[in-house]
Structure 1
Amino acid sequence: MISQGRAAVVKSENHPIDLTKMARKWNLEQAKKAAFRGEVTTALEALKQLANDGIHSAKASLANILAFRGYWDECISLAGDYLEHASLNDYQYGAKDMVLLLSLSGDKTRQWDVVLEYCVRALRSLETRAGMATEINCLDIIGDRNSYARTLKEDGRLHLSNLTTYALSKGLNSHTFYSQYYQPITLENQISQREQYYKNSVENLPLLRPDLTDSPDEAAAHRFHLAVYACQYQDALYEFLHHPDKYNHFQFKDALVVSRILCHSKQFGEAWQILYDWLPQWYPMQHSTRVAPMELLFDILLRPLMTPERCEEVLFCPKATDLWKRKKTLTSKPNATRMEKQEKIPALKIRSFIQAVEPVTKPVTKFGGQPTWLSEPQWPISRTLQKPMRFICQIQLEPKVFGQMNGRIAYLFVSDWYEEQPTRFWEAHSGDNAVIIQPGRTYLGLYDTTSTGPSLEREGLPCEYLVDFESIEEQSKPVSFEGNEFSAEQFQLISQDMACNKVGGVPFYWNTIEYPDDSGDWKLLLQLSEDVPFPLNCCLGLCYAFVSKDGYKGAYFCQSG
């Protein structure tokens, strides 16, 4: 496949190169690249000039930017004119976007008569292009070019007919219209064949895809796509959020899927955060007229996210080729020479808590809900209250973070605290908190074999969360406010990184450095602050859970801020 600019002219004696046309197309590409870099003002002025000069594709790209700024009247004229003069080649790339943009502009302005007039003109123009296969500049078509041209024409007729019907109804049943292009999310497993296919594929993945056996990250990404295909959205959320190397194994379109799932469950803040993080990964299809991710405006699930402020953030965010430069900037740490010489310890930083869309029943990291027991339940009983402790979370003991150990899941329980009946929930080995490992040794305190009990609540209602992880590395020595040996600048840098909610890694202590005992046999399991979406008493400081190096036992305590 070659670029639109290069395919428009052929160098031969009978067809000399049109230098003016080539220069204009180069200017169009430069204008689009400015938009990709987030140079909105430059791109806007260049595209306006190109559109005035009669550069057809510039009108569609200009309409992209104006749509994000809410200039719907201008969008109607630009999109309508693009469709009226569209070639079959345009129906490969930009025409469907302009059909959707006309519909959205009609929704915003209610100028349905104008939209309908453009539809009639575009259909009339399309019908005059019977068999014009020479308009198609795609050179890697397999089969008959004329047949492919007829297919493009039929697709164009279908899109325009859909828009005509929608305009005649004056925007009624918008959900039905847009769902033709962006399928709704359903949490019901309506496609039993896909569900069974998904289960069989996951269970037999080593046999079906032996090439993924030594590539756990690629296997996780493959499971994500299987889950999306089978509408197993909870599993898809988990595979995406917990993946340790997202940027190398997922694309912007995968982040869109995750954001759509979150929007369906009304978690708009979390959905936007994921989209914003992934905007630098967005890139248009080759030859596309797009200069911004238009699905954010077209998709009825994502549309509620797009406030005017966020639309501006989308436009100004550098995209595509600037991703790796941005990542390098974000991860660079000045004045860290001394720290770089130390051994690095892996950890999973908790970027955000994502409310589960349905009960989580798999042995994965989660907060709240009910434990997923691997063997006989051991629900610990508070020594002070003589009542079941509250389930806080379960943590998957991933080898990449904790190394090889006997345990697979660690369960954290903490007693409630009442003024009339205070507990010692903050103290290790007090009997008012517990970390239980499975498979592992039997819990030494009091416990019940019931599988369910008190769990996290938010505003009086049960809650359950998955987590969005980011793989990080930390210096090997624990750090505290008291007695640290770093310069003020280094300490500030370290504290910004280490004083976070995380799984694994190295503790950052509010007070003195301490462990559950003096055996030297402990690894940090979990570090949490009170900056979480559910009630958690950390004594205004941080709480720490530990697991023994053999993975058989655990402990928990808090330090006051």
Structure 2
Amino acid sequence: MPGLSAGCRSVASVTSEPTGRAAGPYDAAFLPRLRMTFRATREPVTEPVSKFGGQPVWLAAPAWPVHPRSGEPLVFIGQFRVPGEEVRLAYLFLHEEGVVMGGDTPEDGEAVVLVQPGGRRPAFASIGSPGTQGRTLWRWGPDYTEVPVEWLTELSPLPPELDEAANRAAAFSRYLRGDGPDVEYPEEDWPRDFLGGEAVYPNNHASGIDSSWRFLCQFEDRGEGEEDPFFLNFGYGSGFLFLSPDHLEGRFLWDCG
């Protein structure tokens, strides 16, 4: 598939690297901070690259999570390359009910991050029987029908002014948590979809995420506009993906202001 391979090389051309200095979800575990943008695929993606939608590109045995009580398969949201030398993916699955996504807490089983190869399955995750497969990410189509989608995630350097705006927003959150000096509220806009750097939390806290987790990426919800690539509902907020220090286990949190 010449076209797909060329596209995958483009997606992987810029990377963020582990800093080794993060002590929790408020620190920069990966640098530099990179903008995430989305590009439609011409063919189904079969390579281990970051993407939203489509089908998981499993790097070990398939393991589709299901709802811990109903047994309904969770929706596949996307997969994310884990920074580092080894090719490793973090797969995100969310429960959806009435277009509300992701549950109430990071460990209620309605948001599951799996890491392959060699990853640890979260203790709260319920995995379906062999052959289980659920829905994938979608967008609204004609007459409000759900149209499955697949978008490659491209990483690119942020303009310095946007990177600095995100740093100022994170610094203001540190001040409100009592973890940093008094700083002014940033008036400028900061990026909403990015990997690496410090996260920008709508309510200044990573609720339910303790100091054992490292921030990987964040992305805002979308889907009401005709040009939006897919539908995600976090209450007009953002989703946040975290990794363990050894990059073998993951968590997900959504939050809105």
TM-score category of the 2 structures, normalised to the smaller one: 0.7 to 0.9
Distance 1:347 1:506 in 2: 8
Cα distance, 1:364 vs. partner? 0.6
The residue aligned with 1:453 is 134
- Deviation sequence 1:260-286 (CA, Å, 0-9, x none): xxxxxxxxxxxxxxxxxxxxxxxxxxx
What letter is aligned with 2:154?
A: D
The answer to whether the 8 A contact 1:370-1:455 is kept is: yes
- Deviation sequence 1:33-85 (CA, Å, 0-9, x none): xxxxxxxxxxxxxxxxxxxxxxxxxxxxxxxxxxxxxxxxxxxxxxxxxxxxx
The answer to whether the 8 A contact 1:370-1:453 is kept is: no
- Deviation sequence 1:122-162 (CA, Å, 0-9, x none): xxxxxxxxxxxxxxxxxxxxxxxxxxxxxxxxxxxxxxxxx
| Structure 1 runs not aligned, ≥5 long | 1-188, 190-231, 246-341
The residue aligned with 2:221 is 530
Distance 1:392 1:479 in 2: 30
* Pair 1:369–1:525, CA change in 2 (3 A): same
The residue aligned with 2:196 is 504
What letter is aligned with 2:131?
A: T
Q: What is the DSSP-based 3-state SS (H/G/I as helix, E as strand, rest coil) of the residue aligned with 1:398?
A: coil
What letter is aligned with 2:115?
A: I
* Pair 1:515–1:506, CA change in 2 (3 A): farther
**Larger RCO, structures 1/2 (Cα 8 Å, 6+ apart):** 2
The answer to whether the 8 A contact 1:516-1:555 is kept is: no
Distance 1:234 1:409 in 2: 18
- Deviation sequence 1:159-188 (CA, Å, 0-9, x none): xxxxxxxxxxxxxxxxxxxxxxxxxxxxxx
Distance 2:30 2:216 in 1: 16
| Structure 2 runs not aligned, ≥5 long | 16-27, 223-227
1:348 aligns with 2:41: no
Q: What is the DSSP-based 3-state SS (H/G/I as helix, E as strand, rest coil) of the residue aligned with 2:49?
A: coil
What letter is aligned with 1:557?
A: L
What letter is aligned with 1:470?
A: S
TM-score by length of 1: 0.36
The residue aligned with 2:25 is none
Cα distance, 1:487 vs. partner? 2.2
1:483 aligns with 2:142: no
What letter is aligned with 2:176?
A: G
What letter is aligned with 1:429?
A: E
Q: 1:124-163 maps to which residues of 2 (within 5 A)?
A: none
- Greater fraction helix: 1
What letter is aligned with 2:126?
A: L
Distance 1:447 1:358 in 2: 28
* Pair 1:234–1:344, CA change in 2 (3 A): closer
The residue aligned with 1:249 is none
Cα distance, 1:355 vs. partner? 0.8
Distance 2:58 2:235 in 1: 29
- Deviation sequence 1:403-458 (CA, Å, 0-9, x none): x6x77110000100239xx7762421011110111121234321023364310122
The residue aligned with 1:390 is 75
The answer to whether the 8 A contact 1:530-1:537 is kept is: yes
Q: 1:209-228 maps to which residues of 2 (within 5 A)?
A: none
Q: What is the DSSP-based 3-state SS (H/G/I as helix, E as strand, rest coil) of the residue aligned with 1:509?
A: coil
- Greater fraction strand: 2
Cα distance, 1:548 vs. partner? 0.9
* Pair 1:536–1:344, CA change in 2 (3 A): closer
Of 419, 438, 441, the residue aligned with 2:116 is 438
Q: 1:38-437 maps to which residues of 2 (within 5 A)?
A: 232-244=2-14, 345-350=31-36, 352-399=37-84, 408-418=88-98, 425-437=103-115
* Pair 1:383–1:452, CA change in 2 (3 A): closer
What letter is aligned with 2:97?
A: W
Range moving further from structure 2, 430-439 or 505-514: 505-514
The answer to whether the 8 A contact 1:413-1:434 is kept is: yes
Cα distance, 1:501 vs. partner? 0.5
Q: What is the DSSP-based 3-state SS (H/G/I as helix, E as strand, rest coil) of the residue aligned with 2:252?
A: strand
* Pair 1:384–1:511, CA change in 2 (3 A): farther
RMSD of the alignment, in Å? Answer: 3.0
The answer to whether the 8 A contact 1:507-1:527 is kept is: yes
The answer to whether the 8 A contact 2:11-2:155 is kept is: yes
* Pair 1:397–1:423, CA change in 2 (3 A): closer
The answer to whether the 8 A contact 2:29-2:197 is kept is: no
The answer to whether the 8 A contact 1:344-1:476 is kept is: no
Distance 2:58 2:72 in 1: 20
TM-score by length of 2: 0.75
Larger Rg: 1
The answer to whether the 8 A contact 1:379-1:389 is kept is: yes
The answer to whether the 8 A contact 2:96-2:102 is kept is: no
